Structures are given as structure tokens and as C-alpha cells.
């Protein structure tokens, strides 16, 4: 089991560019989510999905799009990058997010927008 994988590990973009952060899991988890982590602000939920074809917004969804066409993959798209989107992005997955079912986090993508 590779667990939760994210690519790329590092990325530098110019303002206005678009890109997709990839996230995949091989644990057959239904629940997947994207967070961003900024200094002093903890983890903030961007978007999440409870299964293929079902997504919902988190706290900070503006400027990001997601889709979930398969159980394994949950890509995050930045439509037009802005310096405010400079952050570390974590993808996480869990079976159901019920009870004590915890989330497993990927290694993160460090994004810089110039």
C-alpha cells in the first residue's frame, strides 16, 4: 500500500497560471479532502468528497475546483493562481469519517505563487 500520494512535492507558479495538484489513494477510501496550511493558521478545509461524483465546499473554496471521477483520485485545480494561494497543500483520505475513523494525510505539496 502506497497510502496517500501527492504530486508534485514542490511547485512554483506565476500569477495567473493554472495547475492541478494530484492526489491518489489505494486504500479504497470513500472520503477524501484537500487542506491548505499556512503559518499560524492551522489546516483549513478547501473541498472534500464523500465518494465518486460527490463533492462539497469547505472553509476556503474560492479559487479552487475539484472533481471526483474515481474512488482513487481527487485532483485540486487552481484556476488562476494568486500569491495568496502560496501555501502547503495536504490531501487526506478516510473510509467514512464516522466515529473514530481517522484521516490519513499525504506528504503535501509546497506551492509558491510569484
Partner 1 sequence: GQNIDQPTEMTATEGAIVQINCTYQTSGFNGLFWYQQHAGEAPTFLSYNVLDGLEEKGRFSSFLSRSKGYSYLLLKELQMKDSASYLCAVLLPYNFNKFYFGSGTKLNVKP
| Chain residues in the site for partner 1 (CB under 8 A) | 31, 33, 35, 40-45, 48, 50, 56, 58-59, 90, 97-100, 102-108
Closest approach of partner 1 to the CB of residue 19, in Å: 21
- Picking from 68, 71, 63, the residue whose alpha carbon sits closest to that of residue 89 is 63
Closest approach of partner 1 to the CB of residue 8, in Å: 15
Cell of 32: 477524501
Cell of 82: 494568486
Q: Which helix H or strand E contains 60, and what residues bound it?
A: none
Q: Which is nearer to partner 1, 11 or 17 (CB)?
A: 11
Cell of 56: 462539497
Closest approach of partner 1 to the CB of residue 17, in Å: 25
Cell of 70: 474515481
Q: Which is nearer to partner 1, 8 or 16 (CB)?
A: 8
Q: Beta-carbon neighbour count of residue 61 at 10 Å?
A: 16
Amino acid at each position: 500500500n502506497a497510502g496517500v500520494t501527492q504530486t508534485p512535492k514542490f511547485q512554483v507558479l506565476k500569477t495567473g497560471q493554472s495547475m492541478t495538484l494530484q492526489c491518489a489513494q489505494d486504500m479504497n477510501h470513500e472520503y477524501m479532502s484537500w487542506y491548505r496550511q499556512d503559518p499560524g493558521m492551522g489546516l483549513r478545509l478547501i473541498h472534500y468528497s464523500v465518494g465518486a461524483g460527490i463533492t462539497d465546499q469547505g472553509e476556503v473554496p474560492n479559487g479552487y475546483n475539484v472533481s471526483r471521477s474515481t474512488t482513487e483520485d481527487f485532483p485540486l485545480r487552481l484556476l488562476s493562481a494568486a500569491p495568496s494561494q502560496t501555501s502547503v497543500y495536504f490531501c487526506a483520505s478516510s473510509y467514512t469519517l464516522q466515529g473514530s475513523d481517522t484521516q490519513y494525510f499525504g506528504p503535501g505539496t509546497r506551492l509558491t505563487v510569484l
